[in-house]
């Protein structure tokens, strides 16, 4: 490889940026690679904390900003946002002329980015494909991006097998683990006293961290399921500290945000933060007694910190699980029982099935080994033996 390869990374949310952080660092410091960064979605929204500023504070240069979020979080609003994003990304790729485009996961913003890359004939690198999450349309988006992608970095062997089942070239499927775990090999977590001062949160004898997102395919509406969770944590009583992070900009996300704000205003033991950032988030996970909600983080990262997860509903149904994950239905009594079970669960010997925290170096090594990205464009369907 003679000239620097330009790797264009797209990020639209705080969570996905946290997973990409060390991959970006590895690319940025490598003399053979040139990092291009495009931010979109929630990063550019005041409502969700304008988290593009955090990216800049971390020392990254943002090459392009793609405004695509509408004020509406209805199905119509989200669909229109995808269309706006696809149009904008087409122009961005024409200006930046990257050799690779890299996306992680299954957000609708990334579906827009992937569609534009497909038509622009730019090789697409997809991280964390092949997972199963039956309770949200994220699953269909994830598999769609897989079929548009040319290089696949998956977190585990099961996911790699599913990508292979979708007809992808086995030589282009790489099991690298969860890149979010790389943080644990690089950062020093904050202490409880530092967190208390930083977050304005008084730790109690027992504490929970809650992240709950919209469930886009469930028969039970998101606000009804979340109402059951709020009832359960209300019944924990004032002696349990409750730390909320706000949900993503998904369908009906704003309804959940209002429910959180109303709950916090009525409970002195509860606080809410739009975005904790990766260091504060992981520090909080290590400090609390249970993580509660339906975020993928509860399965992907939390087990490495030896903290139990109470996973509610079907949003993460089908994902690989560590023994520290307790599943329950969105019913207040069952959620309360699961939280109390988590308080008593010993997770000291938990092994995270999603890797060892060395994903970023593996990803960069593979990218550097590709001399001519354009040779990946023409794909063939690889049948499997039935």
Number of domains in the chain: 2
Sign of CA dihedral 106, 109, 115, 121: negative
Same domain, 367 and 292: no
Total Cβ atoms within 10 A of residue 214: 24
pLDDT band at 175 (very low <50, low <70, confident <90, very high): very high
Whole-structure pTM value: 0.82
Strand partners, 39: 11, 65
| Residue-number span of the structural domain to which 371 is assigned | 5-177+357-376
How far is 98 from 96, CA to CA, in rounded Å?
6
How far is 175 from 245, CA to CA, in rounded Å?
30
List the CATH number of the domain containing 122. 3.40.50.2000
Q: Is residue 369 domain-resident?
A: yes
Per-residue pLDDT at 182? 93
Same domain, 315 and 365: no
Sign of CA dihedral 361, 366, 369, 373: negative
Same domain, 208 and 173: no
Same domain, 361 and 337: no
How far is 166 from 158, CA to CA, in rounded Å?
13
Cβ contact 324:292 at 8 Å: no
Same domain, 24 and 130: yes
CA 232-233-239 angle, to 5 degrees, is: 135
Per-residue pLDDT at 165? 96
Q: Is it the case that residue 1 has pLDDT exceeding 60?
A: no
Antiparallel, parallel or unpaired: β 100-104 and 124-127: parallel
* pLDDT, tens digit (0-9, with 9 covering 90-100), for 341-354: 999 999 999 999 99
How far is 374 from 303, CA to CA, in rounded Å?
39
How far is 168 from 152, CA to CA, in rounded Å?
9
Q: Is residue 385 domain-resident?
A: no
For the chain, the C-alpha Rg in angstroms (whole number) is 20
Same domain, 146 and 245: no
How far is 306 from 286, CA to CA, in rounded Å?
7
Same domain, 223 and 160: no
How far is 332 from 115, CA to CA, in rounded Å?
41
Q: Is it the case that residue 2 has pLDDT exceeding 70?
A: no
* pLDDT, tens digit (0-9, with 9 covering 90-100), for 232-278: 999 999 999 999 998 876 667 788 999 999 999 999 999 999 888 88
Cβ contact 40:68 at 8 Å: yes
Total Cβ atoms within 10 A of residue 62: 15
How far is 265 from 285, CA to CA, in rounded Å?
23
pLDDT band at 3 (very low <50, low <70, confident <90, very high): confident
* pLDDT, tens digit (0-9, with 9 covering 90-100), for 278-330: 889 999 999 999 999 999 899 999 999 999 999 999 888 888 899 999 999 99
Same domain, 243 and 124: no
Q: Is residue 365 domain-resident?
A: yes
Same domain, 27 and 58: yes
């Amino acid at each position: 490889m003679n000239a620097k390869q330009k790797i264009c990374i797209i990020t639209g949310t705080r969570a996905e940026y946290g997973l990409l952080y060390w991959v970006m660092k590895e690319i940025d410091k490598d003399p053979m690679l040139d990092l291009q960064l495009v931010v979109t979605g929630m990063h550019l929204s005041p409502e969700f904390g304008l988290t593009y500023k955090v990216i800049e504070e971390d020392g990254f240069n943002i090459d392009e900003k793609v405004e695509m979020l509408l004020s509406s979080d209805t199905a119509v609003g989200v669909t229109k946002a995808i269309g706006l994003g696809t149009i904008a990304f087409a122009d961005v790729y024409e200006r930046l002329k990257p050799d690779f485009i890299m996306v992680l996961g299954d957000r609708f913003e990334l579906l827009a980015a992937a569609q534009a890359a497909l038509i622009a004939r730019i090789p697409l690198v997809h991280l964390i494909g092949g997972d199963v999450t039956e309770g949200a349309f994220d699953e269909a988006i994830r598999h769609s991006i897989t079929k548009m992608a040319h290089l696949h970095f998956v977190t585990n062997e099961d996911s790699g097998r599913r990508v292979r089942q979708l007809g992808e070239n086995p030589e282009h499927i790489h099991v690298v683990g969860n890149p979010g775990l790389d943080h644990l090999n690089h950062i020093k977590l904050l202490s409880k006293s530092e967190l208390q001062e930083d977050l304005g949160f008084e730790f109690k004898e027992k504490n929970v961290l809650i992240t709950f997102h919209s469930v886009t395919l469930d028969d039970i509406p998101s606000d009804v399921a979340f109402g059951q969770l709020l009832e359960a944590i209300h019944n924990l009583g004032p002696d349990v500290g409750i730390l909320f992070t706000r949900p993503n900009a998904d369908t009906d996300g704003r309804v959940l945000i209002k429910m959180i704000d109303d709950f916090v205003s009525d409970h002195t033991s509860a606080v809410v933060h739009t975005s904790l950032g990766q260091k504060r988030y992981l520090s909080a996970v290590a400090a609390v007694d249970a993580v509660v909600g339906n975020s993928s983080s509860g399965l992907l990262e939390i087990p490495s910190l030896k903290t139990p997860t109470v996973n509610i509903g079907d949003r993460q149904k089908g994902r690989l699980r560590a023994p520290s994950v307790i599943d329950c239905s969105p019913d207040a009594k069952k959620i309360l029982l699961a939280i109390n079970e988590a308080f008593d669960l010993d997770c000291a010997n938990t092994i995270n099935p999603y890797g060892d925290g060395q994903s970023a170096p593996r990803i960069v090594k593979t990218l550097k080994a590709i001399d001519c990205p354009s040779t990946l464009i023409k794909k063939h369907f690889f049948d499997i033996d039935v």
